[in-house]
A = this chain, B = another copy of it.
Amino acid sequence: MTQPPMVTIYQVAARAGVSPATVSRVMNGTKVSAESERLVRAAAAELAFTPNRTARRLRGQTSEVIALIIPDIENPFFTALARGVENRARAAGYSVVLCNTDDDPAREATYIDIALAEHMAGVILAPADDASDVSRLIASNRPVVAVDRSLHRPDIDAVTVDNRAGGLSAAESLFAAGFSRVGCITGPSSVETAQLRMEGWRRATRRGRDAVGDDTLLRYADYRVDGGRAAMADLLGLPEPPDAVFVANNLMAAGALEALHDAGLAPPRFGLAVFGDLPFASFDRRGIRVVPLPARELGEAAAGLLLDRIAGDDGPARTVVLRTDHRLQEQR
């Protein structure tokens, strides 16, 4: 690999007949004479000069790049969230780089280190795990925002939804529709959102008429398609199976639908309520109750908080809780 013929500020300076400092001033909007500015701009254009971001960053100790660390790039919820972050960040002149951890705390730690070492302007983290270690970010005073899951740290900005309320209204809507044995498939017990959504369901079952009221119909799974399928199959195999189920995320709902289908069951005969929008190509979603999850808005809100911090906001940590729309939408 030969050396890339990168144009430097020195070449521009030489061509314009000024000093490198003046070129820098022109590029950064500091006051220079009209004549110098003209010369520099002309030279820069002729040479197709692009400032070297690495050098600028080394000097300035900062960059215009935000890291977004997510646990599963193949989950549409997170890609929609990424879209939201990107929209907001781009509008403010920042670029976003996406880092995928696969729910692996070690990979998450690696990416956090990279974000630090790369002098990125800030980090938006959808934590893989409740035990995510952000101490190094905090220690180096780099802005961080947690999204989707909080980090149980009062000193960190966070953006979440009201998981318990969403779980409650989803489960209640099933009772209201006349179902009486409403099961629940939630995520790993170590994940905050899984607990909260399940608690919403539990509260509804305690209120529901004929409700079972214990955890016979509760299953913990892994927030993935296969786990949802297995949990659903397990529930259907019970001596007294449920007649409806609340599923705590989109991917598991897809799996649960497959299991229902295999068993010859389907909504609306079998009640199904889902926390979060179904991954798109679910062409037959009639009769499925969905708590819409504002993924993009979560991303936008998180980016907004982060940009505030990057701009120097030193106020106390804020937690933004977005409303899931309590009117459940029966899709299509």
Instruction: Give residues in A with beta carbon < 8 Å to B.
Output: 1-6, 50-55, 57-58, 61, 73-74, 76, 79-80, 82-83, 86, 95, 97-100, 111, 113-114, 116-119, 139-143, 225, 250-251, 253-254, 257-258, 261, 278-284, 309-310, 312, 314
How far is A99 from B309 in the complex, measured between Cα atoms in Å? Answer: 23
- Once the chains are docked, how many angstroms separate the CA of A222 from the CA of B6? 38
Q: A140 touching B97 by the CB < 8 A rule?
A: no
Q: Which residue of B lies closest to A53 (CB)?
A: B117
Given contacts A280-B225, A281-B225, A100 and B83 within 8 Å (CB-CB) = yes
Which chain B residues lie closer than 8 Å to A257 at the CB level? 281, 283
Report yes or no: A6 in contact with B254, Cβ–Cβ below 8 A: no
* CB-based contact A281/B278 at 8 Å: yes
Chain B's closest residue to A142 (CB) is B4
CA distance A142 to B280 in the complex (A): 37
- Closest B residue by C-beta to A122: B1
A-B contact pairs, 24 of them (CB 8 A): A1-B309, A4-B61, A4-B141, A5-B140, A5-B141, A50-B116, A51-B117, A54-B54, A54-B58, A73-B83, A74-B79, A74-B80, A74-B83, A76-B76, A82-B100, A97-B97, A225-B280, A225-B281, A254-B281, A257-B281, A278-B281, A279-B281, A282-B282, A282-B283
Whether the Cβ atoms of A6 and B140 lie closer than 8 Å is yes
Contacts of A52 in B (CB 8 A): 58, 117, 119
Question: Contact check: which of B74, B114, B140, B283 meets A53 at CB < 8 Å?
Answer: B114
Residues from chain B with Cβ under 8 Å of A282 in the complex: 281-283
Given contacts A1-B312, A73-B82, A73-B98, 10 further A-B contacts (CB under 8 A): A1-B314, A3-B61, A6-B140, A53-B119, A54-B57, A54-B119, A83-B100, A86-B100, A98-B98, A261-B284
Report yes or no: B283 in contact with A280, Cβ–Cβ below 8 A: no
Report the nearest B residue to A80, measured CB to CB. B74
Most buried by B among A1, A53, A83, A254: A1
Q: How far is the CB of A46 from chain B (nearest CB, A)?
A: 15
Residues of B within 8 A of A143 (CB): 1
CB-defined contacts of A1 to chain B, threshold 8 Å: 141, 143, 309-310, 312, 314
Chain B residues with CB under 8 Å of A4's CB are: 61, 116, 140-142
Chain B minimum-CB-distance residue to A97: B97
3 closest cross-chain pairs (CB), A and B = A254-B281, A97-B97, A98-B98
Q: Given the complex of chains A and B, what is the CA–CA distance between A215 and B146 in angstroms?
A: 52
